[in-house]
Amino acid sequence: MDTSNTNDYPDHSDVLQRLCTSWGTRVAVKQPDLDNTYDLQKPDYPEHLLPFKTHPSYENLDDATKQRVLAGGWIAYNEKTIAVEENIINPACALLLHQTFPGTSAEWAPIAMAQTMVDEQYHILMCLNACRVSRRQRKLDGLQLPTPGIVSLQRTYLEGATAEWQRPIIQLAFATIAEMTINAYLLLLSSDATIQPLNRITTDLHRRDETAHHALFRQIVKSVFLGMNQHQQNYFVEILPHGLRAFASAEFHGWRALLESLGIKDAAMIIEDCEAHPANSALVRDYNGLKGLATELGILDRIDYVL
């Protein structure tokens, strides 16, 4: 990547060192097995997070069907997490690990990226186990859900890139959004005592790691951005709003696939009615960290309209 910008990179060695040396005490991979904590009497996913929670056709479903819908919501969340970790986060971390970008040569930067990649691989394992338990307990082994929209969108941008230097910037922009906006949603799930314990505890483990990743990405992305030339910076800012919209999407195509897979006859109508109401279309996201980063980089006024 062209690094013609001659600005000095900010020195974040102390922050990176602190994050790296604390890794062994916070990493989720060291936590115990959770397979025996499933409670069939509790739902797998918070009902209040369903975009169609107040739709009459959903409210009229029997309790057993509602439990399967909520289990499907939990599986969809975990499968989306797996897809994001695999296709968005880890590829960007690999680029940072191998110093593809300017501003990543600090002593602790590659160690921090390697640790983050270990964290993300274990998140994938936790999500796979969570899906396995819910599929078995709720008899959803045959449930098939579509590729998450955010992953499809990044793939579209990567395939449509007109220059090779654009591809790593696309990956960094999408990963930055993922790592810096997910904590509010994880907090909602991990603090909800109404859902069954396995899901709450698993999400809390994920949340703890992501809190550190948030701080890590804020430091490294700032350093990388300041090391880019003007053309590269402009392209990074151009990509951010598209990724932001996609990450906040309610993924209605996935919900429709879930309801249709469960044989709910009004599935299409339920989703069409939800899509007609903007209040149902956005997930809970915390943009404060991203706003703070954008302010530090002097680009908030160029992306604030989507935050």
SS3 249: strand
Neighbours of 105 (CB within 10 A): 12
- Residue-wise pLDDT for 114-163, tens only, equals 999 999 998 998 899 899 999 999 999 999 999 999 999 999 999 999 99
The pLDDT value recorded for residue 39 is 84
Nearest alpha carbon to residue 44 among 254, 178, 202, 187:
202
The pLDDT value recorded for residue 32 is 45
The continuous run of DSSP H or E covering 124 comes out as helix 109-137
The pLDDT value recorded for residue 6 is 45
Q: How far is CA 219 from the centre of its chain?
A: 19
DSSP state at residue 89: I
User: Is residue 306 very low, low, confident or very high in pLDDT (cuts 50, 70, 90)?
Assistant: confident
The pLDDT value recorded for residue 303 is 92
Q: Per mean pLDDT, which range of 96-100, 230-234, 285-289, 294-298 is the poorest?
A: 285-289
User: How would you classify residue 103: left for phi > 0, otherwise alpha for psi between -120 and 50, otherwise beta?
Assistant: left
Q: Are 274 and 251 in contact (CB under 8 A)?
A: no
Distance, in Å, from the CA atom of 63 to the CA atom of 66, rounded to the nearest integer, reads 5
Instruction: Name which residue leads in pLDDT, 196 or 103.
Output: 196
Q: Per mean pLDDT, which range of 23-27, 115-119, 232-236, 288-292 is the poorest?
A: 23-27
Task: Find residue 249's DSSP bridge partners.
Answer: 282
Is 0.75 surpassed by the pTM of this model?
A: yes
At 31, phi and psi to the nearest 5?
A: -80, 160
Q: Are 204 and 190 in contact (CB under 8 A)?
A: yes
